[in-house]
Structure 1
Amino acid sequence: MEPKLSYVGITQKKGRVSPAQFIPLCEEIGLIITIGEWIIHTACMQAKIWQDQGLPALRIAVNLSPLQFRQPDLIKQIRNALDIMELSPDKLELEITESATMEDIDKAIAILGTFNNMGLHLSIDDFGTGYSSLNYLKRFPIHTLKIDQSFIRNLDTSFEDAAIVKSIITLAHSLRLSVVAEGVETKEQFDYLDNLGCDEIQGYLFSPPVSANEFSKMLSSPTVFCVE
């Protein structure tokens, strides 16, 4: 039987491909749903492995694409993954972009409400790059705002970026939300965020992306996360 699809002429090896290129392509051709479901199950499995190894308690975060967030069986997928892996819901965090929540506000609130009732941790990812209304933001049952790295990159040289970051941290704390700064690469950025009371920080200052095995070693030696 002839295959329904064939790919011709793709011979050049690209090596590692940035998520900024890979994810939009997966969304465009519809593969993000299948890949996203696999990622959810794999993340839950890895969290369970670390838990069973007796490593320090942690919460593993999974990004949901806007297309994934609109899938009618998303809640069932996540419930199944947690049940199969026998993982407590509080060990899983879902990161949703502003744009995904703004497409259908009432539906987004209902979905987030279900996740919150399940005991999942919820974050708005890349905050500051979308168009969310503060009126809607206060209605979302979320726990964390993640400041987009575009505001962090020039934090120590741009008055405008510094003002935006300070405003986001103040806003989040006023709404009793925690704040994570993405893309922190320098000690100067770290110090500035620390002085503003930013709750958590991620970025190359601490570590580039590593394999699960390598991260297990890092969890066994927490001192590697210290910033001098």
Structure 2
Amino acid sequence: MSAGTQQSASPLDYAIDQQSRVTLPTVRLAVERGNGVLAFQPVVQSGRTERPAFYEGLIRIIDESGRIVPLRDFMPVAETTELGRRIDCLSLALGLQSLREDPSLRLSINMSARSIGYPDWITTLRDGLIAEPQVAERLILEITESSAMEMPDVVHQFMREVQGYGVSLALDDFGAGYTSFRYLRDFCFDMIKIDGQFIRNIANHPDNQVLTRALQSIAHHFDMFTVAESVETADEAAFLIDMGIDCMQGYYFGAPTIAPPWKSPPTMVQR
């Protein structure tokens, strides 16, 4: 950062830039070595909250000292670069590995639409599904709304391919950014995950209630399941159940963990 840029940037922007300069090489090296694990968070059906319908596998990068690197320290910068694509590759490889190891597991894995055109990512997906076709029906790919709307034609073509394998697709962070409802109609996602900003304190927040009901109505109109993200209290859960949300996810039902009950101590994908 030049002196002029440093002077014009806010102290927070400068701190984030400095943190990225320190962290990104560490993350890059860890990803190259396959030093990552998934943290599993349950997603429950509203009518059967005692048992997860599936889990979301959230990537955790581990540095040379064995420390988990906080996502906030690198993901905002990495997600639009090749490092973001490499992280998506590692996350997908770990997810496919988990599905192979446990035939009872259903798992969602995050991805950016930018990874669709990344050769290593699409090869990892195709090779994994060809080698183990039975995992396809237990795999859910979560595509962020912001990235999907940037390249709708690419996403639409991709959806046709992976749904042919039996893979389900979810639109993540629904409502967080600009949504083209024309593209939403054409996409035919299996599942919509309503962004947590609309869910937090929903039991006491009339605006969030109206917005969540609107997003739920849109999803159900297109025959898509709804998942409410960031459910953190009993009041929020009770309100969402009453309004007819299909599934819920959040700390109220379980925090992400790298040591879920069914799993032995985590192993890393070796590269």
TM-score by length of 2: 0.68
Q: Secondary structure at the match of 2:202?
A: coil
Match of 2:142 among 95, 116, 124: 95
CA separation of 1:66/1:110 partners in 2, compared to 1, >3 Å: closer, same or farther? closer
CA separation of 1:162/1:61 partners in 2, compared to 1, >3 Å: closer, same or farther? same
Question: Alpha-carbon deviations, 1:3-51, whole Å to 9, x = none?
Answer: xxxxx9789x9x5443343322333553222222121111111112121
CA separation of 1:141/1:74 partners in 2, compared to 1, >3 Å: closer, same or farther? farther
Question: Partner of 2:236 in structure 1?
Answer: 189
Number of paired residues? 203
Match of 1:164 among 201, 211, 214: 211
Question: Partner of 2:116 in structure 1?
Answer: 69
Match of 2:101 among 28, 45, 49: 49
* 8 Å Cα contact 2:99/2:135 also seen in 1: no
Question: Partner of 1:208 in structure 2?
Answer: 255
Higher relative contact order (CA 8 A, sep 6+): 2
2:75 pairs with 1:23: yes
Q: Secondary structure at the match of 1:214?
A: coil
CA separation of 1:126/1:181 partners in 2, compared to 1, >3 Å: closer, same or farther? same
**Which letter maps to 1:81?**
G
Match of 1:148 among 195, 204, 213: 195
Q: Secondary structure at the match of 2:171?
A: strand
* 8 Å Cα contact 1:153/1:184 also seen in 2: yes
2:128 pairs with 1:81: yes
Distance 2:233 2:112 in 1: 29
* 8 Å Cα contact 1:75/1:115 also seen in 2: no
Alignment RMSD (CA, Å):
2.5
- Can you give the 5+ residue segments of structure 1 that lack an aligned partner in the other structure? 1-7, 52-56, 218-228
Question: Partner of 2:158 in structure 1?
Answer: 111
Q: Secondary structure at the match of 2:158?
A: helix
* 8 Å Cα contact 1:116/1:142 also seen in 2: no
Instruction: Compute the displacement of 1:157 (Å).
Output: 2.5
Instruction: Compute the displacement of 1:125 (Å).
Output: 0.0
Give 1:2-13 correspondences, 5 Å limit. none
Instruction: Compute the displacement of 1:87 (Å).
Output: 4.0
Distance 2:232 2:85 in 1: 32
Question: Alpha-carbon deviations, 1:60-92, whole Å to 9, x = none?
Answer: 111002432342564332111223455431111
**Which letter maps to 1:152?**
I
Question: Partner of 1:130 in structure 2?
Answer: 177
Question: Partner of 1:226 in structure 2?
Answer: none
Q: Secondary structure at the match of 2:187?
A: coil
Distance 1:169 1:27 in 2: 28
- Can you give the 5+ residue segments of structure 2 that lack an aligned partner in the other structure? 1-20, 27-64, 264-271
**Which letter maps to 2:112?**
S
* 8 Å Cα contact 1:65/1:97 also seen in 2: yes
Distance 1:127 1:164 in 2: 11
TM-score by length of 1: 0.79
**Which letter maps to 1:214?**
P
Question: Alpha-carbon deviations, 1:80-114, whole Å to 9, x = none?
Answer: 12234554311111000111111122222111121
Percent identical pairs in the alignment equals 31
